[in-house]
Amino acid sequence: MTQLLKLENVKKHFDVGGYLLKKNKEYLKAVDGVSLTVNQGETLGIVGESGCGKSTLGNLIMGLLKPTEGNIFFEDTNISSMKEKDLKNRRSDFQMIFQDPFSSLNPRMRVFDIIAEPLITHKVINKDNLKKRVFELMEDVGLDTSYSNRFPHEFSGGQRQRIGIARALTLKPKLIVCDEPVSALDVSIQSQILNLLSTLQKRHNLTFIFIAHGLPAVKHISDRIGVMYLGNIVELTTKEQLFKQPMHPYTAGLLSSQPISDPSMRSDRKEEYMEGDIPSPVNPPKGCKFHTRCPYATDKCKEEVPSLTEKDTGHLVACHYPLLEP
Ligand SMILES: Nc1ncnc2c1ncn2[C@@H]1O[C@H](COP(=O)(O)OP(=O)(O)OP(=O)(O)O)[C@@H](O)[C@H]1O
């Protein structure tokens, strides 16, 4: 397995003021020390509740944000310390697919121009081959080439996402960060787009980072899954291990709060693991950040930060008392 991406203790702390009223500046710790690797051709799912830092992590990997601390290596090149000019030359290697294709596509541009734009901007194609390449990309994502003169609003949500995917593929990227690409779509369309992404992954040997709120959304597409809580990865393992034997109480809570057939069971099951609201990332709890919501927390959890360590083969968990098989 070839390693494509490596994150070393990556942090993004946003300056959120506070200095007018208080002596010290306040920082929102959106991403607070994430280390992980992604292998070529795999899909790493990243899940967690709203505000846990998933999109910020995606933007850091894309080079759209500079980390406050830490390093991001793409094929052994440290992209976090690259100058903007050099990063521009590497940008074609990593692309992003967004949740809402409507807002990410220019409404005044025809589909042909939306897909052609990166090819023209990066000067990777001559005029004679442009039409052939754009049509090739449209066919690749299952769009009828006779629609190439239409505007985004003339397409359905699923078709618009296909346009977004075609645009992301134009420069033959190696890595695509998919930021909740199906959560705005109808359930029936979601599986079509997920199947398309899987097909394209095999066809073009793509590597995906697939961001979503809940575990069900990443279950089918992911090889491994990382669970995020308040800026940290708290569990990272294969999807099989994660669903069979979640070791972090937060993951167990996410799994038990999945929709189940008997609605009367739902709230009980959720409360079993997760009490209260997610704390503020400006002032996160000391020690294990999850201790305020964890039914198993002890004094140690209130003081000591658990590091992400391998508790079973390839199964990383940041918990002082990981859940083990009975
Ligand atoms: N530019 C910014 N300045 C200040 N705070 C920010 C900025 N961008 C994100 N944040 C904050 O960082 C935290 C993480 O945000 P992020 O969008 O990464 O979370 P998320 O897990 O993707 O959430 P969602 O699922 O709702 O998109 C949030 O508290 C958010 O308000």
For residue 31, how far is its CA from the centre of ligand 1 (angstroms)? 9
pLDDT of residue 270: 41
Whether ligand 1 lies within 6 angstroms of the CB of 51 is answered as yes
For residue 50, how far is its CA from the centre of ligand 1 (angstroms)? 8
pLDDT digits (tens, 9 = 90+) for 188-230: 899 999 999 999 999 999 999 999 998 988 988 999 999 999 9
Q: Is the pLDDT of residue 246 over 70?
A: yes
Nearest residue (by CA) to ligand 1, atom 2, is: 14
pLDDT of residue 243: 94
Nearest residue (by CA) to ligand 1, atom 4, is: 14
Are 297 and 291 contacting, i.e. CB atoms less than 8 angstroms apart? Answer: yes
Q: What pTM, to 2 d.p., does this model score?
A: 0.91
pLDDT of residue 267: 39
Tell which one of 28, 34, 211, 250 to mutate to probe ligand 1, the residue whose CB is within 8 A of the most ligand atoms. Answer: 28
The predicted complex's ipTM stands at: 0.97
What is the phi/psi pair of residue 126, to 5°? -95, 165
Place of tokens 């209260």: 276
| Residue spans per domain, the chain | 3-317
Place of tokens 């990383």: 316
Nearest residue (by CA) to ligand 1, atom 30, is: 51
pLDDT digits (tens, 9 = 90+) for 125-177: 888 899 999 999 999 999 999 999 999 999 999 999 999 999 999 999 999 99
pLDDT band for 269, please (50, 70, 90 cuts). Answer: very low
pLDDT digits (tens, 9 = 90+) for 181-196: 998 899 889 999 999 9
Which CATH architecture is the domain 3-317 placed in?
3-Layer(aba) Sandwich (3.40)
Residue 16 CA: which ligand 1 atom is closest?
Answer: 4
Nearest residue (by CA) to ligand 1, atom 18, is: 53
Q: CA–CA separation, 292 vs 274, rounded Å?
A: 9
Q: Is the pLDDT of residue 326 over 70?
A: no
* Letter string b/e over residues 86-96, b meaning 16 or more CB atoms within 10 A of that residue's CB: ebeeebebbbb
